[in-house]
Amino acid sequence: MKHERTLVRASDIGLWAYCQRAWWLARVRQVTHQHPARLVRGTTHHETHGKTVAQAQQYRRWGHRLLALAMLLSGFALAIWLWQSG
C-alpha cells in the first residue's frame, strides 16, 4: 500500500493560521476568491492594523519603562529627604 505524503509549505501554515476557512477553500476546494479587489483591500487593512498594534505595544513598553524610572527616582528623592531630615 502506497502512502502519499503531502508537502506543507510555510505559506500554507501562515494562511491556515490567519484564516483556516480561507485555507480550506483555497487549497482543498480550490475555490478562487470572488472579489479579489476586496481581498487586497482587506489584506492591506490588516497589515496597517497590525503595524498600529505593534506601535501601540511599543508605546506601552516605553510607558512602563518611564513609570519604573519615575518610581525609582521618587524613591531616591524620598530616601535622600528622609536621610537629610533625620
Give pLDDT tens digits for 5-41: 677 788 788 888 988 888 888 888 888 888 889 888 9
User: How far apart are alpha carbons 31 and 26 in whole angstroms?
Assistant: 5
Is residue 3 in a domain?
no
Q: Using an 8 Å Cβ cutoff, are 15 and 22 in contact?
A: yes
Is residue 32 in a domain?
yes
* C-alpha cell at position 53: 498594534
Report how many domains make up the chain. Answer: 1
User: Where in the sequence is the domain holding 35, given as residue range(s)?
Assistant: 10-85
Taking the model in full, what pTM does it have?
Answer: 0.56
Is residue 1 in a domain?
no
What percent of the chain is modeled with pLDDT above 90?
Answer: 50
